[in-house]
Structure 1
Amino acid sequence: MNAPVSPAETLRTALATLLDGLPPRQAAQAVERLIASYRGATPTDSPILRDRADVAAYAAYRMPATFEAVRSALEAFADAVPGWAPGSHVDVGGGTGAATWAVSATWDGARPVTVLDWAEPALALGREIAAAHPALRDVRWQRSRIGAALTIESTDLVTVSYVLNELTAPDRAALVDAAAAAAQAVVIVEPGTPDGYARVIEARDRLIAAGLQVAAPCPHSAACPIVPGEDWCHFSARVSRSSLHRQVKGGSLAYEDEKFAYVAAARLPVAPAPSRVIRRPQIRKGQVLLDLCEPDEKLGRRTVTKRHGDLYKAARDADWGDAWPPADRRDRP
């Protein structure tokens, strides 16, 4: 009996068919132009993604990275709310729906899903791609201007991924407030840059002010201990590179690492990680150095050595972004 195909594999297969009939050079040029022009607030007259060729090229290039980043954030959130699964989902600014695929990869089963976006070609292509996944065939794709006037229907989960950077400060604030008012849980993902982190922290403050508790990545809902301008909190997700990625970036590796910042907060009871690994662990002879965000609102470095036994083995397996200590070690001395 064949093993079921995962949403990630289904998405990769669907994206591989998108560029059929579109010359590779044209696809690469479209992506380069779109990356260069995707700046500022959402356009008032027409979206940057103008037609199917634009959207197909951009989706094939960006959907895998968005999917992996959002899935990483959702998995951390799911660990903090064991036993809970969203009964409904609204994806704000979702475009071709990468976050809907990530939600489906995190929690099994179908649920009512609405994707809101201003770019009609993106919504149309998202609907086409979603037909490959049974859990997403009934998604509602709704054209909506993303900004202060946006109305979000009551739902269990709202995702907002790679959207805040396209909005003005007032629109960002209004969107986060609307998401907080509409949902039991809100997950926001931005690029893993200092500016992306600043937008996430701004959103985090608004979610807390609205009565939500931070579930991930932070081990607490107090102020972030990172000093603005000195550092920023971000994580990394491994993404398989397509031929289009290699054409556009001129790289030879079969993968790349997508850097992202995020916050996940909820009104339901949450159990945040005791600590979070916020840098790549440094593995040295006989020891592992872990940089952690701690529950006492501080940053710290933990040195785990061979004398720590099984904990040392766990430290060697730990990755950037993981909870620490591992769940199976939390009740042990």
Structure 2
Amino acid sequence: MPLPLNRALEAVLDGADPERLRRATTRLIDVYRSGAPPTEQVLSDRVSATAYAAYRMPATHAAVARVLRYALEVAPDLAPHSLVDVGGGTGAAAWAAADAFPGLASVEVVDGSADALAVGADVARHGPRALAGARWTRRDLGGGRALPRADLVTVAYVLGELGPDLRDRVVDAAADAASEAGAVVAVLEPGTPRGFAAALAARDRLLAAGWHVLAPCPHEAACPLAAAGDWCHLAVRLDRTALHRRLKGAALGHEDEKVAYVVARRTPADTPAGRVLRHPVTRKGLVQLELCRDDGTASREVVSRRQGPRYRAARHAGWGDQWPPEGTDPAD
């Protein structure tokens, strides 16, 4: 987690009752792990919203930051000036966007929980100018009202909490809000089969509307993993603060946030030849990569020491990275 967000959370959490936060965190974890869409507002009071900020903002921030980094690798010209964070809660995605795009000037976080928005606004006061001046708008996502126009629209960990019809309406509203030629929509869901299904449905809907995928897919064909009964996701490692460990009752100093996602733009970009689908397996003298390829297939590639630069690149490749890296000759 970046130091500014860490300090902002510490400033807002200073003086909060740690036992109340721990109990609220345990309840939230149980709700989200159930996998079922909530039947009522989850962040229904200040304590639950504060607990959510403490235990979920670091992971959400890490996931969105990584996803935006991958999008920038494919489309380095991305430079949004405005952001709408749909269902943004306490604003973790907005923090990640502000970090990724220094030119971001206008931020609006839209959510149905007044308590989450209030906590998010308190945290954002300790952030960069775009966040400190952000608008925090309470709105029922099912109300049918149009979203504000923006260059970048994020929908992070929202669709899984909605019914299928409402998911489609939210994706459509996000696409309508990102109306400019270079505008971008980023959808993120938990890296579970259910989360992947929601992200994949959003990808299909955006493609059908004429959008173009920036990441993770190096193609716009049907997902080969879904066809094989598998699911595409990414693991992002983040460090836990001492408070984070206490709230979650965790011993490890890190955790892996698994995320399924799609980033799409109205205009196409030069996508990579492939992307790494899992942690590479390194053995003596070789690296085994599971790849999604630009021809719409998924397959394994084994890179041996005899391949020189390609082997050295494979040893440094990570889950989610482009393959091969720029400057690596495919014939090596």
The TM-score, its normalising length taken from structure 2, stands at 0.93
Q: 1:122 aligns with which of 116, 119, 123?
A: 116
Task: Work out whether 1:95 is the aligned partner of 2:78.
Answer: no
1:8 Cα deviation from its structure 2 partner: 1.8
**Does the 8 Å CA contact 2:89/2:111 hold for their aligned counterparts?**
yes
Task: Work out whether 1:40 is the aligned partner of 2:21.
Answer: no
* 1:102-251 aligned within 5 A: 102-135=96-129, 136-147=131-142, 149-183=144-178, 184-228=183-227, 230-251=229-250
Secondary structure of the structure 2 residue equivalent to 1:147: helix
Secondary structure of the structure 2 residue equivalent to 1:327: coil
Partners of 1:257 and 1:234 lie apart in 2 by 12
State the partner residue of 2:56: 62
**Does the 8 Å CA contact 1:88/1:113 hold for their aligned counterparts?**
yes
**Does the 8 Å CA contact 1:274/1:325 hold for their aligned counterparts?**
yes
My pick for the range that moved more, 312-321 or 147-156, is: 147-156
Partners of 1:77 and 1:110 lie apart in 2 by 16
**Does the 8 Å CA contact 1:19/1:57 hold for their aligned counterparts?**
no
Task: Work out whether 1:13 is the aligned partner of 2:10.
Answer: no
Name stretches of at least 5 consecutive residues in structure 2 with no aligned partner.
Answer: none
The TM-score, its normalising length taken from structure 1, stands at 0.92
Partners of 2:297 and 2:228 lie apart in 1 by 17
Q: Percent same amino acid among aligned pairs?
A: 47
Name stretches of at least 5 consecutive residues in structure 1 with no aligned partner.
Answer: 1-6
State the partner residue of 1:254: 253
1:88 Cα deviation from its structure 2 partner: 1.1
Q: What's the RMSD between the two structures over aligned residues?
A: 1.8
My pick for the range that moved more, 200-209 or 266-275, is: 266-275
The one-character-per-residue Cα deviations of 1:191-233 (angstroms, maximum 9, x if unpaired) are 0000000011111000001110011000011111113572110
**Does the 8 Å CA contact 1:148/1:175 hold for their aligned counterparts?**
no
**Does the 8 Å CA contact 1:19/1:56 hold for their aligned counterparts?**
yes
Report the CA distance shift for 1:128/1:248 in structure 2 as closer, same or farther (over 3 A).
Answer: closer
1:124 Cα deviation from its structure 2 partner: 1.1
State the partner residue of 1:72: 66
* 1:284-295 aligned within 5 A: 284-295=283-294
Task: Work out whether 1:52 is the aligned partner of 2:46.
Answer: yes
Partners of 2:206 and 2:288 lie apart in 1 by 32
The one-character-per-residue Cα deviations of 1:95-153 (angstroms, maximum 9, x if unpaired) are 11000111112111332111100111111111111111223111111111112614112
State the partner residue of 2:281: 282
Partners of 1:67 and 1:131 lie apart in 2 by 17
1:248 Cα deviation from its structure 2 partner: 4.1
Report the CA distance shift for 1:208/1:330 in structure 2 as closer, same or farther (over 3 A).
Answer: farther
My pick for the range that moved more, 105-114 or 318-327, is: 105-114
Partners of 1:257 and 1:290 lie apart in 2 by 20
State the partner residue of 2:328: 329
Partners of 1:26 and 1:206 lie apart in 2 by 41
**Does the 8 Å CA contact 1:18/1:60 hold for their aligned counterparts?**
no
**Does the 8 Å CA contact 2:280/2:317 hold for their aligned counterparts?**
yes
**Does the 8 Å CA contact 2:22/2:248 hold for their aligned counterparts?**
no
Report the CA distance shift for 1:164/1:189 in structure 2 as closer, same or farther (over 3 A).
Answer: same
The number of residue pairs the alignment matches comes to 324
**Does the 8 Å CA contact 1:150/1:175 hold for their aligned counterparts?**
no
Partners of 1:326 and 1:228 lie apart in 2 by 27
Secondary structure of the structure 2 residue equivalent to 1:18: helix
Task: Work out whether 1:271 is the aligned partner of 2:270.
Answer: yes
